Every structure is written in C-alpha cells, then in structure tokens.
Amino acid sequence: MTASQTVAPQTFEPLMEVDGLTKYFPVKSGLLGRATAVVKAVDGVSFNVAQGETLGIVGESGCGKSTTARLLMHLITPTAGKLRFQGKTVGTAEMPLKAFRRQVQMVFQDSYASLNPRLTIEDSIAFAPTVHGVSMVDAVARARRLLDRVGLEPKRFAGRYPHELSGGQRQRVNIARALALEPSVLLLDEAVSALDKSVEAQVLNLLLDLKEEFGLTYIFISHDLEVVRFVSSRVLVMYLGKIAEVGPTDALYEASAHPYTTALLGSMLSMDPDKRRTAAPLAGDPPNPINPPSGCRFHTRCAYAADICRTREPALSLVAANHHAACHLSDPTSGHTRPTRPAVAEVTA
Amino acid sequence: MISIATVPVLEPVQRSPGYWATVLRRFSRDPVAVGAGIVVLLLILMAIFAPLIAPADPYKGMALRRLRPPGTDGYPLGSDELGRDMLSRLIYGARLSLFIGVTPVFIALFVGSAIGITAGYVGGWVNTILMRVIDVFFAFPSVLLAIALSGALGAGIANSVISLTVVFIPPIARVAESVTTSVRTRDYVEAARASGASAFRIVRTQVLGNVAGPIFVYGMSLIAVSMILASGLSFLGLGVKPPEPEWGLMLNTLRTAIYTQPLLAALPGMMIFITSIAFNVLTDGLRSAMDIKS
C-alpha cells in the first residue's frame, strides 16, 4: 500500500487504468536546439476511473491537469506510462488508438477555438462520425439529433457558423460534437470554466442529464473547487505533476489528508462570514517544474514540512476507504506526525 | 447505441451565408477594388477575344510606315519599328503577357502550398528540412534567380514560365507554412485528431479552408511582380522571342525609338503598369474583404 504511487485495488472494475503516466517536455536552447533541461509536467501519475463515475481533477495552473488530459487523449505522446481501457492496453492490437478514440472524447475549454470557423456547426459535429465510416447523411442527421438534445433547435442552429453563437451555445455544440461518436467516456478539460456563472450552471446541468441518459463516465478537469464538488463522485488533487491526494468527494472536502488539499480548500470562498479568512492559505507560486523540489514537492510551501519531507518522496498511502494521500503525515511508518491538527488525527485513526 | 429523441431526418434548415459569400459581399462594397476587378476582367476578355477586337494583323508590317505617332490615319496608336499596328500588337500582347505572368503564380500556388502545408502540419524535422531548402532560394534576389534560371534553361515561353514558377514557390511555401503552423495547434484541429481522423483528412477538411484564403491573397499579390519579371525576361531576350507580340519584348524593341517617338515607346510599359496596378488594387481589396473580425 505504501510502496508505490498506485491507487489500491478498488471494489469496482476499473474502466480506465492509468499507470505511471509521465510527460517531460524538453527545454531546448542554443543554436543546435539541444535539450538542456526538462519540464516534468506530469511525473508518474497512476489512477483508475470506474465505469459511470465522475472523477474530478483539480490543481493550480501548471500542475499538469491539462497535460494529463492531452496524454489521456493521446494528443501528445507520453514519455512513459501505460493506459488500459476496458482491461486492454491502448495503442496495441487489442485496443487500437482509433477504437479507443471512439470510446473516449474530449470537450475543450475554449469554445470558440475548438470549433472550425469555416464549418457550419452541423458539419463540425458530423465530422467525427464520417471518419468512422458513417455516411454523410446519417452523420448530419445524428448531428441534428444531438443539437436538439443539447438544447439547440436544429432548424435554427444547424446551418450557422461558430461566430454567430454565444459562448454557452458554442460549448453545447462542443458537447454534441464530443457525443457524436457515442463514446463511453467524456474528458472535460475546463469545459465550463470560460462561461459566466448562469450559463455555467445550465451547461453543468446538461452534462449531468447527458451522463445519466447515455451512461457516460466523466473525467472533469477544473480549477474551480465548487464546480468539481458539485459534479464529482471522486476527486484527484494534483500538485506539480504528481497526485497529492485522491478520494471520494465528501471525504476529501470534509477531511482532507494532504496539507496542499487543505490549503487549496481554504482558498474557496465561503458564504458564511464566520468562516472568512484574512490570511492567504498558501503563499507564493508553485516551484518551477523544471527543477522540482527534492523529496515531497510541496515541502517548500507546506506548513508542516519536516526533514523527512525534504529528502524522501512520500508514496500514496491509504487514509480511509478509497482515500489516499501522498504525505508523510498520512503514513504512520514515516515517523512524521502533526499534533496541531486533530481533524486529520481522527481520519487516520 | 445512444438513443436520442428523433427529429425528422435532414429537413431544410436556416443557413447562414458562408465565409466566401461574406467575403464577396464585403468585396462588392469596395468601389476601388471592384473597379480594379473590372479592369482585370477587361484585360482577360481582351486577351481572349484579341482576334475579334484587334483592327489589324499584329504580325504584318509595312516597311514604309514605321514608327508612326499615335493618331495617324489607319494606326490609332501608331506603328512600331517594323510598321506593325501598335493597337493590335498591344491587344494581342495581353495574351502572352498575362499567360506568362499568371501561369507561374498558379503553378507555384499549388506546389508552394503543398510544400508549406506539409511542412507546417507535420512539423518537426520534416519542417526543418523543407524550410531550410526553401531558405536556400531566398538567398537570391528574385530577379537574379529568374534571369539565372532562364539563362540556364534558354529563351522561350515554357522556360520563362518554369523559371518564374521556381522563383515564386519559396515565398508561397513560406506563407503557407506560417499560416498552417498557426492553424494546426488550434483546438478544432486537436479535436479532429481526437476523433481519430488521418492527417490527410484533417488537412483536407479542417486546415485547408482556414489557410487557403491568406495563401491565395498572397499569390494574387505576386501576379503583378510576376508580370513585371516576365516582361523583364522578355526585355532581356530570355523570354518570348520576336516577332511574338508581348509587352516586355515590345518595350525592348521600341527602346531605340525613345527619343523620336517617346509616347510610342512608353505604350507597352503603360500596359504593364495598368495590369500590375489593377492586380495589386484587386489584391488589397480582397485582403481587406477577407479580414473579417467576428
């Protein structure tokens, strides 16, 4: 349980198994463009996604959330790591990339940039099915049914261009486009972050309805902790390319085990004036991923950092059912304790 | 299978005007550009219907009636150094001048776009190799390159078209590469990749529509340059050979008359000037019509 960064076997059969996903971007400099350093954007991330759940992925900008999404979609090639889907390794003969992409689709953050300005929205939606051998007429018919389903009347919207639509309408089109291949998993990379609050709520409700209707599994990437709490059944917290904590939403939000998660949650706005905080929960920017800190990557900003944190990297350890944290405090064998915070002591007990 | 509430299949929907329809509408509201377009159209019509318009045979000279000034009876624009009708030669000249001005640009548009889009979309070492080879051609000024190639290949219409094509491939490839590079990282291309489409299919359906406009406008702007270079080659004796009527060549053969009949000697130059200005203004109009800020 403590040996590696792997999430412990769970009670459900995982739909997607991510094993040691790693992406280093070389930093090139000089005349010959030799790689002089690497940005460790995603560094040995392993997690499972269960059929029908919504896994929220949160973290600060630059923590590797979007890189993880693009790695999962195989839009960029990983430096290391394996991805298994329905028990089959993706990219091999048993699960070719094209078959995998039929099952897993993505909704991007920028609703405008993710639609081709030269194509009508029905053509944009119909594109993917035609790639997989659906005839143009059938694909367009499917596109119109999907438009209708996401709340855009096909008669009025099918023949329009992206610039004639509002941000919320465009994001509905993007969702319809992602659904056009009838996938089982939807990767939502900050899919509602660019929308204003009222539209965001509508789109979120649409996503929840679609999930139920089509039996979808969501991987919901966002920096918005409130939204993640609203939609997710499980949450994964990332810090500098590594998993800090992963666990069921309620357990994680109410009894976070990792000091980073606690600080992150402390930055959430509260409706209760008594809970208002004046001091920033976290000081400074995250360290540079080109040269991440030794040991625990969070030790430079952690209030509980001890000597062991500077030298030894914590593995994910179980703190409660299905709830893991990569912190020496959660690992009784590390010898690192935190007497000042009884809440955590309760959880670990 | 996903079951979705059914809507009657493919009934007509409201269609918004597409990009090119919008460009055309904006272009039609620009009187200067439309004027230039009409001039270009007239020049093309003049070239096509030269035999019907020209009052005389452009090859038939009259040794006794050489270098008549414009307005002479029977010679509305005078006669050249061999006594041939200037007006007829200028009208027939549009055929060759337009042909060797426009053809290289269109061939270069195909070849250059193919190179540039490939380099831009594939990226990496393919881009490096293709674009460094292209850069070699940039080391030569275009006039010198055209002259050198024409000189090496020998005079003639086909050879001047070939050498001008080679001159225009590098700049078009460079423009195509830069617009493709900017388009290929857009999210809609990523989304198309995520759908499992092949690179060729993505370029054809998602990239081409977004890069064709800027590349085409750039190509149009090269037509004026091409016309002048083609005329220059003919002037130097590397292009069209006498007695073919071609504006650049006519400029050359009439240069000896510059002191005696300056107006006559300037006429072919005027035609080149009008044509290249018309193409330039037309290009500017197209460029601003395509600059749509949604």
HSE of A332, CA atoms in CB hemisphere, 13 A: 7
Cβ within 8 Å, pair A114-B5:
no
State pLDDT tens for residues A91-144: 888 889 889 999 999 999 888 899 999 999 999 999 999 999 888 899 999 999
| Average pLDDT value for residue range B171-189 | 93
Q: By the CB < 8 Å criterion, does A38 face chain B?
A: no
Contact list in A for residue B10 (CB cut-off 8 A) is 137, 140-141, 144
- The residues with which A221 forms a beta bridge, in sequence order, are A57, A189
- Give A311 or A183, the one with higher predicted confidence: A183
ipTM of the complex: 0.82
Highest mean pLDDT among B13-17, B21-25, B115-119: B115-119
Measured between CB atoms, does B200 come within 8 Å of chain A? no
Residues of chain A in contact with residue B4, where contact means CB-CB under 8 angstroms, are: 145-146, 148-149
C-alpha span between B226 and B207 (Å, rounded): 28
Q: Determine the pLDDT at residue A46.
A: 92
Tens-digit pLDDT profile for residues B23-77 = 899 999 999 999 999 999 999 999 999 888 888 788 877 777 777 777 777 777 7
pLDDT at A115: 93
- Closest CB to B5: pick one of A128, A148, A214: A148
Residue of chain B whose alpha carbon sits nearest to that of A133? B197
How far A200 CA lies from chain B's nearest CA (Å)? Answer: 20
> Is the Cβ of A303 closer than 8 Å to some Cβ of chain B?
no
Tens digit of each residue's pLDDT (9 = 90 or more) over A147-187? 999 999 988 998 999 989 998 999 999 999 999 999 999 99
A177 CB neighbours in chain B (<8 A) are: 191
Cβ A243 vs Cβ A316: under 8 Å: yes
Nearest neighbour of B7 by CB, restricted to A102, A127, A144: A144
Residues from chain A contacting residue B188 (CB–CB below 8 Å)? 113-116, 124
Residue B126 zone, left/alpha/beta (φ > 0; ψ -120 to 50; rest): alpha
* Residue-level pLDDT at B293: 62
pLDDT at A345: 39
Q: Chain B contact for A80, CB < 8 A?
A: no
pLDDT digits (tens, 9 = 90+) for B184-224: 889 999 999 999 899 999 999 999 989 998 999 999 889 88
* Interatomic CA distance for residues A243 and A55, integer angstroms: 13
Residue B231: its pLDDT value, please?
A: 83
Residue indicated by tokens 């089509």: A214
The minimum CA-CA distance between B189 and chain A, rounded to whole Å, is 8
pTM to 2 decimal places: 0.82
